[in-house]
A and B are shown apart, each in its own frame.
Chain A
Amino acid sequence: MDDFDLLQEATQEAEAAEDSRALYEVKMKFLGRTGKVTALLKGMKEIAQESRPAFGKKVNALREALEEKFASLEEKIKQRELEKKLAGENIDVTMPGRHTKQGALHPVTRVKDRLIDLFSGMGFEVFEGPEIESEYYNFTALNTPADHPARDMQDTFYLTEEFLLRTQTSAGQIRVMEQKKPPIKILSPGRVFRSDDDATHSPMFHQMEGLVVDKHITLCDLQGMLDEFAKKMFSETSKTRLRPSYFPFTEPSVEVDVSCAACGGKGCSLCKGTGWIEVLGAGMVNRRVLENCGVDPDEYSGFAFGMGIERIAMLKYGINNIKLLTENDTRFLEQFKD
């Protein structure tokens, strides 16, 4: 048999092999222990002695050529098979990924956190007083004695003659001043209650009270701080405006308007054309309130401000109905994801 034929035959068969198994079989058929090339070597003893070296050389060359051939074909087939395998593992990358869908914090919490961050940076500590209060802390100590008409300003929920649901976080002012000596800078956020339930009022809402007591505090400082608040909370160009008002526990008392962020103060439907939005109440702490807490009003002065967190949230997020804030509809809540 001609070894060239054998090379050709083996090459043909190997190239026809479809997969690595078939290729292996072809390889065994020629190069295996009982393979045709091996058989040639085995048949060497029947060849004349002098022809043997040349024959051996030829067969070895053939075997090397074949091994090389098989190696390269094996490489190709493996590559092809891998490709085929990977092709079979194709996935639909548009199918959804797996993760726990995130929830969201309530808009009131978001605004409250933002306010706390903002005022913490200015040196305010956070103090939370009780939601059920005595008449003393909610009214009397705040310069609102029993016969005071200001008690009618807020419709109060009473639990007994003495205890009530606090109508204002200002109640916390007194508790702080009883415990701490000036300088005082505190924030007091929390739930407050008024027996008012209509389209624009909820019987429960949240307030954030701020109190500063120190030496040399003036009305200018109050506005300076509120300007800072307005800039950080609404927009860098926000301004505040003070106008006279009345709260029993401050004197002078002011309402604080912030320039309308929606129209930049030009006047729009949100600010009813005035360019200003009423945001909070404030004032210089009444001397009697300081006295009630054992703080010397000749040495110290201070200011206090209080805002409705719902109101700020509604302004900030454009929420048009206060009732949405306590309905807990997930379609509403999911709009406040971080």
Chain B
Amino acid sequence: MLLPYSWLKEYVNVSLPAEELKEKLFSCGFEVEELTYLGKDVEGVYTGKIVKCEKHPDADRLTVCGVDCGEKGAKQIVTAATNVFEGAIVPVALDGATVKHEGGVQKIKTGKLRGVVSEGMFCSGEELGINDDFYEGAEVNGILILDKDTPLGLDIRPIVGIDDYIFDIAVTANRPDCQSIFGLAREVAAVCKLPLKTPETAYGCAKTEVNVSVEVKEPKLCPRYIGHFVKDVKIGKSPRLMRRRLALMGLRSVNNIVDITNYVLLEIGQPMHAFDRRFLRGDKIVVRCAEEGEKIVTLDEKEFSLHPENLLICDGERPVALAGIMGGLNSEIKDDTYEVFFEAASFARDSVRKTSRSLGQRSDSSARFEKGVDPLYTPELGMARALHLVEELGCGAPTDRGADVLGVSSEQKVICTSYAAIDKVLGIHVPKEEVNGILERLFFEIGERGEEFSATVPLWRDDVDGYPDLAEEVIRMYGYDHITPTFLENATVTHGGRTPAQEQERKAKRTLEKEGFFEACNYSFYSPKDFDLLRLPENAPERRAVKILNPIGEDLSVMRTILIPSMLQNVVRNVRRGNYEGRLFELANVYLCEELPLKTLPEERKHLVFGLWGEGDFFDLKGAIEALAEAFDVRLNFVKGERPFLHPGVTAVVKMGEKEVGFLGELHPEIANGLALEKKVYLGELDYAAISKRFAKEISYHNLPKFESVRRDLAVVVEERVTCAEVQECILRACKAVKKAELFDVYRGKQLGQEKKSMAFRLTFEPDEKAEKGLSPEAVDGFFNKIVGNLKHNLNAELR
């Protein structure tokens, strides 16, 4: 909400420097987001009278003027402007002055133009940052010509109305009553402990025979409707003060009647509408919901087709306004309008919001109604103020005919509580007199009864309905610096900490950190096209993704069902930025649903996704997963598998028991090519929820083996298709004494023959737990030979 200091001063006689007022507002809950001094770019510009105009001796288009700048002395100014004349009073920027220039600031210096000295420059309205609404004539092509009786040698800023501050105030959503100049003035008066002047609202009542009736069919959506008939209207220009004030708030002047409606909206916070009574058929106003398909053309000449949830203002026959949003073109104020029917109403905020959103039609009025206009106070004040202004401006005669329909109780809220209750919320003692004083300055009526009191809530304060609200009013005016920090003096001691699942998550991240992975963080949504990039078939379960109804864009419109696309995007971005190698992981939810659209909350399941590029290969990624399995004390198996987006030869499915819990592999070379990735990229994704089920392993000690283990190396030549896992399994099954068979070398060479490879394993033999003696070399030889025999028999492996 914008607040011009000059306008505020009409209601509160406040004389603080603007910066101090800003602090005051801040302390009571109104943050000034921006404080602007309108004249800040205009410095050193004074009024001056042109006393002499002569042609420049060497330039046809230039004029040399002698200027009387009063106390600032006589100056010579050379100008190219053509609207100057002897006797004109104009703004003169003297040596060292600044003015606005093309969005920036221009410094003015004495200099020579074609050999003639110019001690400054005449200013146009634009150079002062003003338009016609600030000062008539500001928009002419040329120099701003000031009023004839303007004194000379004065600072130009007060004269053209830019010696003013504008406070841009963030008003919180609970304070719609402060969405107006007068509303903010109330707060300023309270916080500065100054009296508040009330707006002038007196008006006369001219006699008339005309009777406009009002019928409200939807009292819930329109709890208050006040109408008033004004005759003898003379449409014309508004006075300078009103035009300037509208301009300060960023509005252009239209004509006196329309300006009054806008002025009251800004000043009182009451949206007003003015109908030309000539076009109100049947002299009747009906507030009702639209019929399906009913049409209206609004003032801005847009046509809307309506639905039953849209509230309408109608005359005896047809819609004449979209309630609270915009008037209809059919009843707008025209230059020849001579009778006006004013409306000041209160409409339900969600009704206005829904209609405004669904039709895509907004206005200052709808914005105001969406925040909430109280039914009991503001419409009355707004109407009276508008009628007063009509009379003051002399542009019409308010009549004795009006209508006022109230659809809610007119009872005022009263809160009964105690001073102790206020203290209990705050934790400090606020003296009774302070409480009373603060609340009374905010227009609460206090009825004191010893330690208890009643507070009658002002009609405009819909937000206040309990003693905590009163406590807030008290402390924000009393000052938060009175709060003395305590540390839960009276609270129960509780035990805190992470759950086992949260501890385990931390462990997972720490493990991967040690494996060289950086943790990534991606949005929870991506593009449906990402599924195409992964070449997922049409019926892939991953494509059953929850959609956002109102996404920022198509590329952020579906909730993740698989994390790979985000990771792939991260890898691509890194490679494009010249990060030639890297390892990333992300632990985040995927969102899985049974059916679409959603009937119940979807399952949020934690997944762990990996990306590795540049340095390292499949086995580095597998190693990281193994490290994680070790940290979690779970057994994961890796079997050959397929994924449409992975290299068919370099893909593994990860299993825990029989259950598939993930996959890893090399990005399919075709996809890599399409993304201009020259080096291989390895990706993997685990169902973290599945592998993390085992919390907090119980550690218990077992006895150390009595006898040492024995190691032997074994190298066998097998056919290329035989896998490491097959050989290992064969070894381990051959005898119980072999506890481990670790691959340490794979060799391929001509002497082994085509399609053959040699695999070398380090075997560890341990004696049985109950054995009385260690393993003899002969016994190990026996095991070894049995293993070799089994390998030969099962896998056609030859000892190398």
Flag the segment in A42-50, A67-75, A87-95, A328-336 that touches B: A328-336
| A159 vs chain B, min Cβ distance (A) | 6
Query: A120 contacts which of B497, B525, B547 (Cβ < 8 Å)?
Result: B497
B528 within 8 A of A: no
Instruction: Give the nearest-CB partner of B466 in chain A.
Output: A287
- A window 237-260: CB within 8 A of B: 240-246, 248, 251-254
Q: How far is the CA of A146 from the CA of B354 in the complex (A)?
A: 11
B570 within 8 A of A: yes
Instruction: Give the nearest-CB partner of B588 in chain A.
Output: A191
Instruction: Give the nearest-CB partner of B569 in chain A.
Output: A328
Q: How far is the CA of A159 from the CA of B550 in the complex (A)?
A: 8
- In the complex, what residues of B have CB within 8 A of residue A220's CB? 426-428, 483-486
Q: How far is the CA of A246 from the CA of B469 in the complex (A)?
A: 11
Query: B427 contacts which of A119, A157, A219 (Cβ < 8 Å)?
Result: A219
B360 within 8 A of A: no
Per-position 1/0 for B497-523, Cβ under 8 A of A: 111001000100110111111111111
A-B contact pairs, 5 of them (CB 8 A): A123-B495, A149-B370, A153-B173, A220-B427, A252-B475
Given A157-B551, A183-B491, A328-B521, CB of A244 within 8 Å of CB of B579: no
Tell whether, in the assembled complex, residue B577 and residue A329 are in contact, meaning their CB atoms are under 8 Å apart.
Answer: yes
A15 within 8 A of B: no
Flag the segment in A6-14, A31-39, A101-109 that touches B: A101-109
Tell whether, in the assembled complex, residue A214 and residue B492 are in contact, meaning their CB atoms are under 8 Å apart.
Answer: yes
A325 within 8 A of B: yes
Tell whether, in the assembled complex, residue A160 and residue B597 are in contact, meaning their CB atoms are under 8 Å apart.
Answer: yes
Query: A330 contacts which of B428, B481, B506, B574 (Cβ < 8 Å)?
Result: B574
- In the complex, what residues of A have CB within 8 A of residue B31's CB? 243
Tell whether, in the assembled complex, residue A328 and residue B570 are in contact, meaning their CB atoms are under 8 Å apart.
Answer: yes
Tell whether, in the assembled complex, residue A130 and residue B515 are in contact, meaning their CB atoms are under 8 Å apart.
Answer: no
Given contacts A153-B173, A330-B518, 15 further A-B contacts (CB under 8 A): A123-B496, A124-B496, A147-B353, A149-B372, A158-B548, A162-B598, A197-B556, A214-B492, A218-B425, A219-B426, A328-B518, A328-B520, A329-B573, A333-B520, A334-B518
A203 within 8 A of B: yes
- In the complex, what residues of A have CB within 8 A of residue B485's CB? 220, 223-224, 226-227, 240
- B window 458-498: CB within 8 A of A: 466, 468-469, 471-472, 475-476, 480-481, 483-498
Flag the segment in B22-30, B76-84, B297-305, B664-672 that touches A: B22-30
Instruction: Give the nearest-CB partner of B350 in chain A.
Output: A147
- In the complex, what residues of B have CB within 8 A of residue A327's CB? 573
A215 within 8 A of B: yes
Given A100-B514, A131-B604, A203-B552, CB of A106 within 8 Å of CB of B496: no
| A304 vs chain B, min Cβ distance (A) | 13
Query: A106 contacts which of B428, B480, B492, B520 (Cβ < 8 Å)?
Result: B520
- In the complex, what residues of B have CB within 8 A of residue A225's CB? 487-488
Q: How far is the CA of A123 from the CA of B350 in the complex (A)?
A: 41
- In the complex, what residues of A have CB within 8 A of residue B350's CB? 146-147
Instruction: Give the nearest-CB partner of A228 in chain B.
Output: B487
- In the complex, what residues of A have CB within 8 A of residue B130's CB? none
Q: How far is the CA of A296 from the CA of B556 in the complex (A)?
A: 42
Max chain A C-beta neighbours (<10 A), residue from B428, B483, B552? B483
- A window 92-142: CB within 8 A of B: 100-106, 108-109, 113, 116, 119-126, 128, 130-134
Contact surface of B with A, Cβ cutoff 8 Å: 26-29, 31, 172-176, 348-350, 353, 370-372, 424-428, 466, 468-469, 471-472, 475-476, 480-481, 483-499, 502, 506, 509-510, 512-525, 546-552, 556, 559, 570, 573-574, 577, 579, 582-584, 588-589, 591, 597-598, 601-602, 604
Given A183-B494, A195-B552, A251-B469, CB of A245 within 8 Å of CB of B29: yes
Q: How far is the CA of A106 from the CA of B570 in the complex (A)?
A: 14
Tell whether, in the assembled complex, residue B494 and residue A123 are in contact, meaning their CB atoms are under 8 Å apart.
Answer: yes
7 A-B pairs with the lowest CB-CB distances in the bound complex, closest first: A218-B427, A244-B29, A220-B427, A147-B350, A252-B472, A246-B172, A216-B490
Q: How far is the CA of A47 from the CA of B348 in the complex (A)?
A: 143
A interface SS class: mixed
| A281 vs chain B, min Cβ distance (A) | 11
A-B contact count (CB 8 A): 264
| B617 vs chain A, min Cβ distance (A) | 14
| A203 vs chain B, min Cβ distance (A) | 6
| B133 vs chain A, min Cβ distance (A) | 31
- In the complex, what residues of B have CB within 8 A of residue A254's CB? 480
Contact surface of A with B, Cβ cutoff 8 Å: 100-106, 108-109, 113, 116, 119-126, 128, 130-134, 146-150, 152-153, 157-160, 162-163, 165, 183, 185, 187, 191, 193, 195, 197, 202-204, 212, 214-221, 223-228, 240-246, 248, 251-254, 284, 286-287, 301, 325-331, 333-334, 338
Q: How far is the CA of A185 from the CA of B493 in the complex (A)?
A: 10
Tell whether, in the assembled complex, residue A326 and residue B548 are in contact, meaning their CB atoms are under 8 Å apart.
Answer: no
Tell whether, in the assembled complex, residue A159 and residue B513 are in contact, meaning their CB atoms are under 8 Å apart.
Answer: no
Tell whether, in the assembled complex, residue A287 and residue B468 are in contact, meaning their CB atoms are under 8 Å apart.
Answer: yes
Query: A219 contacts which of B173, B483, B497 (Cβ < 8 Å)?
Result: B483
- In the complex, what residues of A have CB within 8 A of residue B471's CB? 251-252
Q: How far is the CA of A221 from the CA of B492 in the complex (A)?
A: 13
Tell whether, in the assembled complex, residue B521 and residue A286 are in contact, meaning their CB atoms are under 8 Å apart.
Answer: no
- In the complex, what residues of A have CB within 8 A of residue B515's CB? 100, 103
Q: How far is the CA of A36 from the CA of B764 in the complex (A)?
A: 56
| B364 vs chain A, min Cβ distance (A) | 16
Query: B176 contacts which of A109, A149, A228 (Cβ < 8 Å)?
Result: A149
Q: How far is the CA of A148 from the CA of B176 in the complex (A)?
A: 12
Max chain B C-beta neighbours (<10 A), residue from A103, A109, A147, A163? A103
Tell whether, in the assembled complex, residue B486 and residue A224 are in contact, meaning their CB atoms are under 8 Å apart.
Answer: yes
Q: How far is the CA of A242 from the CA of B491 in the complex (A)?
A: 22
Q: How far is the CA of A280 from the CA of B349 in the complex (A)?
A: 29
Instruction: Give the nearest-CB partner of B471 in chain A.
Output: A252
Q: How far is the CA of A147 from the CA of B348 in the complex (A)?
A: 8
Query: A131 contacts which of B353, B469, B589 (Cβ < 8 Å)?
Result: B589
Q: How far is the CA of A131 from the CA of B519 in the complex (A)?
A: 20
Tell whether, in the assembled complex, residue A195 and residue B598 are in contact, meaning their CB atoms are under 8 Å apart.
Answer: no
- In the complex, what residues of A have CB within 8 A of residue B514's CB? 100, 102-103
Given A122-B496, A301-B425, A330-B582, CB of A216 within 8 Å of CB of B468: no
| B455 vs chain A, min Cβ distance (A) | 15
Q: How far is the CA of A219 from the CA of B549 in the complex (A)?
A: 40
Tell whether, in the assembled complex, residue A242 and residue B480 are in contact, meaning their CB atoms are under 8 Å apart.
Answer: yes
- In the complex, what residues of A have CB within 8 A of residue B597's CB? 159-160
Q: How far is the CA of A190 from the CA of B288 in the complex (A)?
A: 45
Tell whether, in the assembled complex, residue B573 and residue A328 are in contact, meaning their CB atoms are under 8 Å apart.
Answer: yes
- In the complex, what residues of A have CB within 8 A of residue B172's CB? 245-246
Instruction: Give the nearest-CB partner of B469 in chain A.
Output: A251
- In the complex, what residues of B have CB within 8 A of residue A221's CB? 427, 486-489, 491
Instruction: Give the nearest-CB partner of B421 in chain A.
Output: A298
